[in-house]
Amino acid sequence: MKDQKYLIERKFLDLDFNVIYWNEKPNANGVDCYVQKDHESINKKPLSVEIKMIKKNPKTGALYVEPIGKKRIKDDLIAIIINSEYVLIEPMSHHLLCCGPKGFRAMTIYK
């Protein structure tokens, strides 16, 4: 978890976002973290971020992301950890459009 936290924080800093809150005990009911583009601006609303890990199906080898909980679909962003070097950060609305009918999202990674 510590390495994942560092990786996500580094990626948001690369995009000029400041992480202003981390949920130290992530659970299905709460937001994982909040980021803000301009930390000093009072009028800027922090963006809520859901963090998910990519998983591999042991039978088929397919990569997928598990469904988002109903309470989390209104988050602003999703950060999908692909591996120790790559994180996909995108709007939650785009992620939900890419998910299948049961909520799973298949991923393909080209090397």
Give the span between the Cα atoms of 78 and 92, in whole angstroms. 5
Strands 63-65 and 105-107: antiparallel
Domain coordinates in residue numbering, the chain? 2-107
At 99, is the pLDDT very low, low, confident or very high (cuts 50, 70, 90)? very high
Quick: pLDDT tens for 70-87: 888 999 999 999 888 889
Quote the Cα angle for 102-104-106, to 5°.
Answer: 135
Q: How far is it, in rounded angstroms, from Cα 109 to Cα 111? A: 7
CB 78 within 8 A of CB 90: yes
CATH of domain 2-107: 3.40.1350
Locate 56 and state its tokens: 């591999």
State how far the alpha carbon of 3 is from the alpha carbons of 10, 95, 106, 108, in Å.
11, 24, 24, 23
DSSP code, position 15: T
pLDDT digits (tens, 9 = 90+) for 12-59: 999 989 888 888 776 656 778 999 986 566 667 889 999 999 999 999
Q: What is the pTM of this model?
A: 0.86
pLDDT at 85: 83
